[in-house]
């Protein structure tokens, strides 16, 4: 997208104070509307949402549950309209179904949950009079992808024995995508979606490789294995190897088969953010959201073709099948000290150092080679965490979303928290993860060598160490702490065109609700973090997407509070008392219609 020649001058809005409102709270002078809610019909023939009469068939034509990543793609020729693509990470059965019996879900409830997972593509249009953004049901580009939609596996592991099942002897076709957390929009007009906590859907495993991925030895909470044996590892051992990938969707072709790219590795992908090398090859950053896990970079071998011809689009859909996957190793440049209650800094005054990208697997037109001793290329693609272990990658505090600045090329890595850092035999604080029992997380700023996306070396420093600014163990890029908003558990990150970083949070450990924050990353306002909005009770702030005049957020799992249910709701957002709580996408804009990021 075009980068405007304006500098980051800091953000002008008056910060929203931390609060516990069961509402989306925005700054004075801003307006908001709900763009689309769980259950709203988007496909032709889908019925209106009726929480008391849900069916799997209805849900398959309606917007799914727990919206997370959001993309907005242009729709040339349709004035005032864009194509919204949303992830539906997971289902909260107890908040969806009245009288839900967790020990004995019904087949219909399970099939509704399958249909409520996945992705939605839905055209949205702007009301030029009010500024509101609303969905356009029944548009021919609207689409639902669910836990039963056919996907094509690509890359080195496709067709390997590790991916063959009794239902798919080719190892190339898998049904569905699960737990799509964050994602990315590619410069070639497709969307990427990270399959994150896929372990929770698979039961009865006893393998060490599955244990490394958190797959349990007993029944799952949702009990899907009772209704489809592919979710039972004891009966269908390889199905679990077919989840945990970066998924690619071509939203402009509603009949296309979406893909799972094995060359980008298998782990709990939070997101996948794309930039291009100067000669037009894709570079993808992707984090593995687990305590003490790694973050990765893929460098493509083929150049993107410009234009929207069929041949160009088909070529570009293969860009993530050739290239090299790397994992990050970071080294501090000072004796490691913990950032603690004294506010002490390392000897050179900064938490910083250098790093290298360690190659794991390379694929080209002739095949794939592993760079990891004792593992084949297929094994590196399927058991990527084990490959990272072998090469000595750096254990991080839950790598979440990663985003390069369109202005400076610096790359920002959200590390959400790690309560186990330094506990027992776990790795202690180091310069890149400088806090033991890290409750509030931090954001790392990474500069590729010579600012080239495909460099194999980088420098890094901490941009934010989150928490209450009155806590000495926090850091806001050196900005005076009396003038910043408290923040906890950074999760998703996005840039506006002016170079401001927007950070959304999940799991605020300061006792108030999650929200969205904006911060300049360059200039004299660098580090001036301001809270832009807060979300309702129990919700996480997802998606964030900042266009010139509008911010979109996905309000995920509102009302998700221990002990809450349809009968005993903790939230009645967005429709008020007496109405079922519904995850939904919200648009926010300035009442005067001017730009937000300046």
Residue 92 binding partner per list ligand FEO, Ca ion, none, with a CB distance cut-off of 5 to 8 Å that depends on partner kind? none
Residue 334 binding partner per list Ca ion, ligand FEO, none, with a CB distance cut-off of 5 to 8 Å that depends on partner kind? Ca ion
Residue 196 binding partner per list Ca ion, ligand FEO, none, with a CB distance cut-off of 5 to 8 Å that depends on partner kind? ligand FEO
Using rule CB under 6 A, residue 239 touches ligand FEO: no
5: Cβ contacts below 8 Å, ≥ 6 apart: none
Binders of Ca ion in range 334-393 (CB under 5 A): 334, 346, 348, 350, 352
Binders of ligand FEO in range 362-421 (CB under 6 A): 400
Closer residue to ligand FEO (CB): 385 or 590:
385
Residue 56 binding partner per list Ca ion, ligand FEO, none, with a CB distance cut-off of 5 to 8 Å that depends on partner kind? none
Closest-CA residue to 427 (of 295, 326, 336): 336
Residue 348 binding partner per list Ca ion, ligand FEO, none, with a CB distance cut-off of 5 to 8 Å that depends on partner kind? Ca ion
CB 537, CB 573: distance < 8 Å: yes
437: Cβ contacts below 8 Å, ≥ 6 apart: 419, 420, 421, 422, 423
For residue 466, the Cα-to-chain-centroid distance in whole angstroms is: 19
Using rule CB under 6 A, residue 196 touches ligand FEO: yes
Using rule CB under 5 A, residue 200 touches Ca ion: no
Using the rule CB under 5 A, give the single segment among 57-65, 142-150, 330-338, 569-577 that binds Ca ion. 330-338
Query: What is the C-alpha radius of gyration for the chain, rounded to an integer number of angstroms?
Result: 23
Q: How far is the CB of 181 from ligand FEO (least distance, A)?
A: 3
Using rule CB under 6 A, residue 270 touches ligand FEO: yes
CB 32, CB 24: distance < 8 Å: yes
Q: How close are the terminal C-alpha atoms of the chain, in Å?
A: 17
Closest-CA residue to 573 (of 585, 563, 588, 562): 585
What mask, x for binding ligand FEO by CB under 6 A, covers residues 491 to 530?
x---------------------------------------
CB 300, CB 283: distance < 8 Å: yes
What mask, x for binding ligand FEO by CB under 6 A, covers residues 283 to 302?
------x-------------
CB 37, CB 574: distance < 8 Å: yes
Other beta carbons less than 10 A from residue 74's beta carbon: 11
Residue 113 binding partner per list ligand FEO, Ca ion, none, with a CB distance cut-off of 5 to 8 Å that depends on partner kind? none
Q: How far is the CB of 270 from ligand FEO (least distance, A)?
A: 4
H or E element in which residue 109 lies = helix 107-116
What would the two tokens of residue 399 be?
């790598």
Q: How far is the CB of 292 from ligand FEO (least distance, A)?
A: 14
Closest-CA residue to 263 (of 192, 176, 185): 192
Binders of Ca ion in range 472-491 (CB under 5 A): 491
Binders of ligand FEO in range 167-186 (CB under 6 A): 181
CB 414, CB 493: distance < 8 Å: yes
Binders of ligand FEO in range 428-467 (CB under 6 A): none
- What is the length of the chain? 598
For residue 251, the Cα-to-chain-centroid distance in whole angstroms is: 18
Residue 338 binding partner per list Ca ion, ligand FEO, none, with a CB distance cut-off of 5 to 8 Å that depends on partner kind? none
Q: Which of 78, 333, 340, 548 binds Ca ion (CB under 5 A)?
A: 333
H or E element in which residue 377 lies = helix 377-382
Closer residue to Ca ion (CB): 174 or 414:
414
Residue with tokens 């076709």: 173
Closer residue to Ca ion (CB): 210 or 506:
506
* CA 86/CA 552 separation, integer angstroms: 11
* CA 271/CA 290 separation, integer angstroms: 13
Say if residue 171 is preceded by a cis peptide, omega within 30 of 0. Answer: no
Q: How far is the CB of 68 from Ca ion (least distance, A)?
A: 6
What would the two tokens of residue 187 be?
């410069």
Using rule CB under 6 A, residue 92 touches ligand FEO: no
Closer residue to ligand FEO (CB): 61 or 490:
490
- 231 secondary structure, DSSP code: G
Question: How many residues form the binding site for Ca ion (CB under 5 A)?
Answer: 9
What mask, x for binding Ca ion by CB under 5 A, covers residues 146 to 185?
-----------------------------------x----
- The DSSP code sequence of 263-327 is GG-SS-B---EEEE-TTS-EEEEEEB-SEEE-EEEEEESSPPPPS--HHHHHHHTTGGGSEEEEE
Residue 350 binding partner per list ligand FEO, Ca ion, none, with a CB distance cut-off of 5 to 8 Å that depends on partner kind? Ca ion
H or E element in which residue 536 lies = none
What mask, x for binding Ca ion by CB under 5 A, covers residues 531 to 570?
----------------------------------------
What would the two tokens of residue 494 be?
């996005």
Using the rule CB under 5 A, give the single segment among 325-333, 420-428, 522-530, 545-553 that binds Ca ion. 325-333
Residue 288 binding partner per list ligand FEO, Ca ion, none, with a CB distance cut-off of 5 to 8 Å that depends on partner kind? none
- For residue 481, give the 3-state DSSP assignment: helix
Closer residue to Ca ion (CB): 181 or 203:
181
Closer residue to ligand FEO (CB): 196 or 210:
196
Environment class of 447 (CB within 10 Å of its CB; exposed 0-12, middle 13-18, buried 19+): middle
Residue 346 binding partner per list ligand FEO, Ca ion, none, with a CB distance cut-off of 5 to 8 Å that depends on partner kind? Ca ion
What mask, x for binding Ca ion by CB under 5 A, covers residues 62 to 81?
--------------------
The site for Ca ion (CB under 5 A) is made up of 181, 333-334, 346, 348, 350, 352, 491, 506
The site for ligand FEO (CB under 6 A) is made up of 89, 181, 196, 270, 289, 400, 491
């Amino acid at each position: 997208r075009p980068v405007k020649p304006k500098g980051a001058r800091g953000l002008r809005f008056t910060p929203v104070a931390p609060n516990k409102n069961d509402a989306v709270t925005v700054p004075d002078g801003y307006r908001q509307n709900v763009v689309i809610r769980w259950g709203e019909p988007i496909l032709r023939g889908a019925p209106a949402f009726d929480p008391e009469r849900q069916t799997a068939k209805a849900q398959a034509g309606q917007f799914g549950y727990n919206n997370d990543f959001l993309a907005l793609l242009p729709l040339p020729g349709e004035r005032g309209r864009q194509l919204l693509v949303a992830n539906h990470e997971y289902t909260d059965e107890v908040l969806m179904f009245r009288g839900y019996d967790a020990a004995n879900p019904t087949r219909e409830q399970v099939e509704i949950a399958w249909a409520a997972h996945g992705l939605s593509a839905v055209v949205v249009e702007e009301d030029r009079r009010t500024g509101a953004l609303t969905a356009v049901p029944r548009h021919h580009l609207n689409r639902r992808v669910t836990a039963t939609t056919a996907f094509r596996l690509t890359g080195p592991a496709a067709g390997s024995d590790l991916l063959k099942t009794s239902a798919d002897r080719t190892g190339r076709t898998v049904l569905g995508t699960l737990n799509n957390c964050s994602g990315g929009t590619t410069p070639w007009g497709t969307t990427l979606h990270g399959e994150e906590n896929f372990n929770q859907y698979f039961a009865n495993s006893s393998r060490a490789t599955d244990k490394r991925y958190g797959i349990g030895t007993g029944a799952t909470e949702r009990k899907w294995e009772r209704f489809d044996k592919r979710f039972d590892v004891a009966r269908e051992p390889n199905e679990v190897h077919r989840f945990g990938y970066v998924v690619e969707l071509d939203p402009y072709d509603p009949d296309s088969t979406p893909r799972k790219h094995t060359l980008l590795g298998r782990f709990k992908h939070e997101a996948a953010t794309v930039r291009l090398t100067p000669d037009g090859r894709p570079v993808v950053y992707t984090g593995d959201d687990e305590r003490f896990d790694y973050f990765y970079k893929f460098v493509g071998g083929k150049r993107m073709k410009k234009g929207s011809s069929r041949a160009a689009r088909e070529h570009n859909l293969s860009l993530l099948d050739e290239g090299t996957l790397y994992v990050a190793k970071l080294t501090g440049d000072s004796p490691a000290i913990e950032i603690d209650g004294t506010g002490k800094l390392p000897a050179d005054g900064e938490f910083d150092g250098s790093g290298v990208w360690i190659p794991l697997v390379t694929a080209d037109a002739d095949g794939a080679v592993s760079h990891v001793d004792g593992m084949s290329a297929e094994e590196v693609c399927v058991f990527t965490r084990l490959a990272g272990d072998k090469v000595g990658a750096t254990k991080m505090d839950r790598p979440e979303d990663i985003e390069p600045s369109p202005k400076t090329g610096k790359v920002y890595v959200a590390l959400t928290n790690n309560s186990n850092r330094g506990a027992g035999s776990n790795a202690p604080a180091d310069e890149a993860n400088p806090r033991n029992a890290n409750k509030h997380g931090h954001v790392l700023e990474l500069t590729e060598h010579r600012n080239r996306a495909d460099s194999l070396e980088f420098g890094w420093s901490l941009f934010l160490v989150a928490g209450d600014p009155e806590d000495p163990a926090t850091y806001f890029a050196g900005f005076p702490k009396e003038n910043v908003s408290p923040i906890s558990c950074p999760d998703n990150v996005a840039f506006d065109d002016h170079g401001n970083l927007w950070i959304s949070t999940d799991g605020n450990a300061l006792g108030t609700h999650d929200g969205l924050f904006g911060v300049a990353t360059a200039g004299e306002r660098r580090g001036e973090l301001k809270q832009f909005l807060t979300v309702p009770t129990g919700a996480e702030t997802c998606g964030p997407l900042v266009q010139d005049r509008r911010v979109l957020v996905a309000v995920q799992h509102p009302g998700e509070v221990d002990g809450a249910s349809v009968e005993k709701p903790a939230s009645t957002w967005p429709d008020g008392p007496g109405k079922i709580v519904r995850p939904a996408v919200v648009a926010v804009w300035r009442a005067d219609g001017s730009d937000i990021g300046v």
